[in-house]
Structure 1
Amino acid sequence: MMISSWRRRRAARRAGKEQQRTENGEMELTIPRDFRCPISLDLMKDPVTLSTGITYDRENIEKWIEAGNFTCPLTNQVLRSLEPIPNHTIRKRIQDWCVENRSYGIERIPTPRVPVSSKEVLEILSEIIVSCKKRDGEACRDLVVKLKSLAKESERNKRCIVTNGAGSVFSEAFESFSRASFDENNAVLEEILSALTIMFPLDGEAKGFLGSVLAMRCLIWFLSSGDLSRRRNAVLALRELVLSSDQRKVNELSEIEGAIEALFKLIKDPICPTATKASLTVIYHMITSSSTNEKQVAKLINLGIVSLLIETLVDTERGMCENALGVLDGICNSGEGREMACNNALSMPVLVKKILRVSNLATEFSVSILWKLCKNEKREDGGVLVEALQVGAFQKLLLLLQLGCVDKTREKVSELLKLLNHHRNKIECVDPMDNFKHLKRSF
C-alpha cells in the first residue's frame, strides 16, 4: 500500500500536478501555479504574454488594460506594448494537463481563435470605404460579412471593431448605397443594416449618416417590404435615431410617406417583442416631439391605434406596458383620441389597474391619461368619471398620494380626486382591498 501511494505521488509530480487530501481522505486536484492567471488565479483558457514576460489569461489582462492601466499587474512595470502575445507553449501544456486529468472531470480547453487586431479592423474598414466610392456593392457586402462574423466570435472582437469606428463606416456605407435604387443594392444594404445592429449604440457621426433623409427612406422601405429580419433591424435602427433627441431627424422621419403605417403594422402584427417595443418608442417620439405630430396622431387614430394599445395593455410585461402607455398618453392630447379612449369599455379598468402595479413611469402615464380623459368629460351623468369610480380609482389615487409621487403627478392626482368626489354619491361604495390585494409597496 505504501509503495502504491508513493507511485501515485511520483506520477502526479511527473504530470505537473499537485494533490492534496480532503477531509474525507480523497485525493483533490490542484491546478499547477504556472497554469493559473495571476489576476483571477483560475486556469488560463487563452494564455498571453505581456512585454514584461508575465503570462495572463487574455480576458483578464485585456479588462485590466481597458480600465486604463498601462502597467503589468504583477511587476508594476510600464508596458512597452499593449498588444499581448499568445503563449502557445503554455496553452499546449495546459491542454495536455487537462487531457491527462480528465478522470477528475477536467475538460480540455479549446484552442482559442486569434482575436482580431486594430490593424486588421482598420484595413477592412478602409477597403469598405474604397468599395463604396467604386459603388462595388458585392465587394462591400463581403467585407461587411467578414467583420460581422469576427464581431460575433467574441465580445473582445466586437469591442475592437466598435472602438475603431465601424459604426460610422457602416452608416456612411448604408447612406452611400441608399442613393441609388433600393432594389439594385438590396443585398449590400441588408447586410450593412444587419451589421449595424451589432454596433449599437452609435456615436453622433454614425447617426448623422444613418439619419439622412435617403437613409431613413431606405429604412422605411425595409420596414414596409422586407422580411421579418430586415423589418426588425430597420425598426431598431430607427429607434437608435430617435433616441438621439435630434428634433430635425424626428421631423424628417415623420414626413416620410408610409412611415406611420409601417410602424403601426409592427404593433398590429408583431414579429417579436423587441421590434414591437422599438416601434412604440419611435411612434412616441414622432407624436410628442415632431412639429407635425397632429397629422401623425390623426393617421394613427384612423388606423385604430387606441383600441390596439388598450388591448395590448391588458396583459403585457413592464417594458411594453410603459411604451404603450406613453403612446396612448400622447394620443390623448387629441380630442379625437380622448373620445376613442372614452368609448372603449376597457379604458378605465386597465388604466386604474396599472397605477402602482407596474412601475413609477407606468403610474405617471396612467394618471396623466386618466387626468386628460376626466377633466374633459362633459356628460351630465359623469361618464368616464363614474366609470373610474366604479373600478376603484378614488381609493387608488388616495393611496398614491400617501405613498408619494413626483410633483407633476401629484397635482394631477389632486385634481382628479376633486373631479371624482363630485360623483361619489352616484355609485355604491367599493371595497378598496379588492383592488389593492396584489399591490407591492415601494418601501
Structure 2
Amino acid sequence: RKNLTVILRRVRLMLPVVEEVRDGNLLLPPSAVIAFQELHSVMLRAGELADELRESSQLWLLAECELYSTKLFELSRDMAAPLSMLPLSLLELPIEIKEQVELLKLQARRFKLFVDPVELDLQAKLLELLKEFEKKRTPSSDRIEELFKRLLLTSAKECQRELEQLRKLARKSSSRSPKACRINSLISFLCFSSCVLYGMVSEDPQLVTSLSLSSSSIPDEYKCPISLELMRDPVIIATGQTYDRSSIQRWVEAGNITCPKSGQKLIHMTLIPNFALRSLIAQWCEKNKVPFWMSGKDSRATVGVDHIANAQATIAAARMTASFLVGKLAMGPPDIQKQAAYELRLLAKIGMENRRCIAEAGAIPFLVSLLLSRDASAQENAITALLNLSIFDSNKSLIMTAGALDPIVVVLCNGHSAVARENAAATIFSLSTSDENKVAIGSKGQAIPALVELLQKGTQTGKKDAVSALFNLSLLEENKEKVVQAGAVTSLVENLEQYMDDEGNAELLENSLALLGLLAASEPGAKSIARTSAMSFLVRILESGSPREKENATAVLLALCRGGDHSVVRCLLTVPGSITALHSLLASGSSRAKRKATSLMKILQNW
C-alpha cells in the first residue's frame, strides 16, 4: 500500500507539468517528446496496476506482496529515466514547475525497493498456518480468526466478496499454471475458513439475515435448552438437537448417555458445530449490541488450510473443504443443505482435483437426493454441482451408480427453473459420452422427448445443451429412431431457418446441422427430413455458410442421396449455385469436407 501511495502521489505531481506543457502550446524539442511519451506509458502502467491492486483479493495480494512491491519499484525506476531525459533548460516552463520536476527526479532516483514489514508479518502468519495444514495438522480457528480480522474479513459477507475476487482471478488464469494452483488453494482455504468462522456463505443474503428482532430479549431458539442462556458455541448431537458446547459437555461428563431434551439414547458422542446457527446468533448479538466473544478456553471448531504454492496441499485443502461441506449436506437442515450444495457447486467448477475430492467425500448421493427438492434454488444447486462433477470421467459412473438418472430426467422434464432444466440437459450430454450410458439414457421414456421439447422451446443456451445431448445419444443407432419420433427433425429445421443468418448462434446452427447429418443416415430420419423444408436451407448454407456449416450441410445432403432420395439429387442439379458451391468446397474445404463433397459429386455425376 505504501509503495502504491508513493507512485500515485508522483503521478499526481506530474499532472501540473503535463497540463502546463499542454496549455502553453510549447514547442517541444525531440528529446522532450520522447520523454513525455515514455512518461505517458509509465503513467498508463501505473493506472492499470492501481486498478489491479484495487480490484484484487486481499489474500492474493498478501501472498504475492513481494511481487507487487517489485512491480511498483520497477514503475518508480522507469519513471526516473524519462524525467532525467527532459531538457528543462530548453523548455519555457515556470520556475516552480521546473523545481517540481527536479524534485520528482530526485525522489525517483532515491526510491528503494520496500516491502511493508506489516504485510510480511501477515504473510508469515498465513504461510505458517498453511504449512501446518500441508502437514495434515489443523491449526486453531483462533489464529485463523486473528488473521482474518487483520485483513478485515470479519463477516460472511466480506468473505463472499473476497471469494468472488479470487474466482475472477482464477477465470483469468490458465487452468494449469502455477498461479492458478495458488489461487485455487486460496479459494479452498477461504471457503472452508469462512464456513467455519462465520457460517456458510449463502447465495441468498436473505438466508442469513432472515431473522429480525425488535428487542434485545434472547430468542428461545438461541438459548441452550440446558442452561437457558445464549449459546456461544452451538453444537449438534446425535439426536439432531442443538446445545451450547460447554453445557452438553458437562452433561455427558456427568455420566449421562441420553439427549437432555428428547430422552433418546445417544448412539455416538460426536459434537458437530452448528455454524449456521452460530452465524445467526453472532448477527443478532451485533444488531442488539450483545457481546459475542468466545474465550480461548472455549472448545471451538478447527479448520484446515492449504499451502500457497504446493499442489499436493491444494488437494488436501479441497479434500477437507469437501468433507466439511458434505457433512453439512448430510446432516444439516434444508437451508444449510442448500447452501452446502451451492458451495460444492462452486468448488466443483474449478479443477479436476476438486471434482475428484468432492466425489470421494461422498457428495454425489446427497446431491442426487436434493434433485427432487421443492426448493428451486436447492434443486438448481444440486443439478449444477452434478453437472460440474460429471466433467471428471471417473465421476460419471459414480453419478449413474447413485441412481441419479431418474431424478435428472425429472429435473429435465419438470425442473423448477429454466436453468435447472438446461443444466439437466447439459448433465445428460456429459454422461452420454459412454455407450453404456447412451443405452441407459435412451431407455428412459421421457428423456429424449424432454430434450426435444427443450430444443423447441428452450432459451438459446437450453437449445445448445439439448442438441449436444441429442447428438451424443444419436451416435447409438437404436436411439436415432427415438430422436426422430420425438420430433427432433422439425425443431432442427426450424433452427436452420431461425439462426442461418445469425453469426451469434453459429455454434447452435453447426450442431443442428451435425445432428441432422446423423439422423439423415437412418431411414426414419431421411424420410422425416424429406417432409420438411430443409432442402432450401441446406442449399443456401452450402452456398453462403461458414466452412463448418458447409461441411455439415454437405454431410446431410450426402446421407439423403445415399438413402435413395431422388428429389434431393434433382434439387441439387437444378438449383443454380449448388454445383458451384460443391466445387468451391472441393478446392478450399478441409480434408473431411473434401471427401464428403467428392462423394456427393460422384452421386450427382452418375445420376
Q: TM class, shorter-chain normalised? A: 0.5 to 0.7
Q: Deviations over 1:99-123 (max 9, x none)?
A: xxxxxxxxxxx99944455274355
Q: In structure 2, do the counterparts of structure 1 residues 301 and 158 end up closer, same or farther at CA, with 3 Å as the change threshold?
A: closer
2:473 pairs with one of 274, 286, 291: 286
Equivalent residue, structure 1, for 2:548? 361
Structure with greater contact order relative to length (CA < 8 Å, sep ≥ 6): 2
Task: After superposition, give the CA deviation of every residue in 1:337-360 in whole Å (9 maximum; x if it has no partner).
Answer: 11222233x222211222264433
SS in 1 for 2:68: strand
Offset, 1:232: 1.6
- 1:319–1:201 distance in 2 versus 1, CA, 3 Å: farther
Cα distance between partner residues in 2 of 1:231 and 1:162? 24
Q: Which residue of 2 aligns with 1:420?
A: 604
Name 1:314's counterpart in structure 2: 497
Q: Which sits farther off after the overlay, 15-24 or 363-372?
A: 15-24
1:278 match: secondary structure = helix
Structure 2 counterpart of 1:397, one-letter code: L
Q: Distance in 2 between matches of 1:51 and 1:184?
A: 42
Mark the runs of 5 or more structure 2 residues left unpaired by the alignment.
Answer: 24-38, 73-112, 131-146, 153-157, 164-186, 193-316, 500-504
2:368–2:402 CA contact under 8 A, matched in 1: no
Question: How far off its partner does 1:131 sit?
Answer: 4.3
1:331 to 503, 519, 526: 519
2:572, 2:161 → 1: CA distance? Answer: 62
Indicate if the aligned counterparts of 2:371 and 2:382 stay in contact, CA closer than 8 A. no
Q: CA separation of 1:16/1:394 partners in 2, compared to 1, >3 Å: closer, same or farther? A: closer
Q: Residues of 2 paired with 1:386 and 1:325: CA distance?
A: 21
SS of residue matched to 2:391? coil
Q: Counterparts in 2 of 1:1-12, with a 5 A limit?
A: none
Does residue 54 in structure 1 map to residue 66 in structure 2? Answer: yes
TM-score, normalised on structure 1? 0.64
Larger displacement relative to structure 2 (386-395 or 183-192): 183-192
- State the distance in 1 between where 2:538 and 2:49 align: 51
State how far apart, in whole Å, the 2-side matches of 1:279 and 1:300 are. Answer: 11
Match of 2:142 in 1: none
Corresponding residue of 2:590:
405
Map of 2:460 onto structure 1 = 273
Q: Secondary structure at the match of 1:257?
A: coil
SS at match of 2:564: coil
Name the CA distance, whole Å, in 2 between partners of 1:112 and 1:183.
25
Please name the residue that 1:93 is paired with.
none
Question: Structure 1 CA distance, aligned partners of 2:352 and 2:409?
Answer: 25
Whole-angstrom distance in 1 between the partners of 2:486 and 2:324 = 45
Q: State the percentage of identical aligned residues.
A: 18
1:191 lines up with 2:381 in the alignment? yes
Alignment of 1:35-434 (within 5 A): 40=49, 44-45=53-54, 46=56, 54=66, 56=68, 113-115=161-163, 116-118=187-189, 120-121=191-192, 124-131=321-328, 133-134=330-331, 138-145=335-342, 151=346, 164-165=354-355, 168-169=358-359, 172-176=362-366, 178=368, 182=372, 188-196=378-386, 199=388, 202-212=391-401, 214-227=403-416, 228-242=418-432, 245-270=433-458, 272-288=459-475, 290=476, 293-294=477-478, 296-316=479-499, 317-344=505-532, 346-355=533-542, 357-377=544-564, 382-391=566-575, 392-406=577-591, 408-421=592-605
Distance of aligned partners of 1:231 and 1:138 in 2 relative to their CA distance in 1, 3 Å threshold:
same
Q: Do the aligned partners of 1:266 and 1:275 also contact (CA within 8 Å) in 2?
A: yes
Rounded to whole Å, the distance in 1 between the matches of 2:556 and 2:328 is 52
CA distance 1:201–1:19, shift in 2 (3 Å): farther
**Please, what is the CA RMSD of the aligned residues?**
4.6
Query: 1:180-237 CA deviation, whole Å, 9 max, x = no partner?
Result: 993689874443224455x478323433333436112211110111132321221122
- Equivalent residues, number: 352
Which has the greater radius of gyration?
A: 2
Please list every run of 5 or more consecutive structure 1 residues that lacks an aligned counterpart in the other structure. 1-11, 61-72, 91-109, 152-156, 424-443
Distance 1:196 1:405, change over 3 A: same
If each structure's helix is expressed as a fraction of its own residues, which one has the higher value?
2
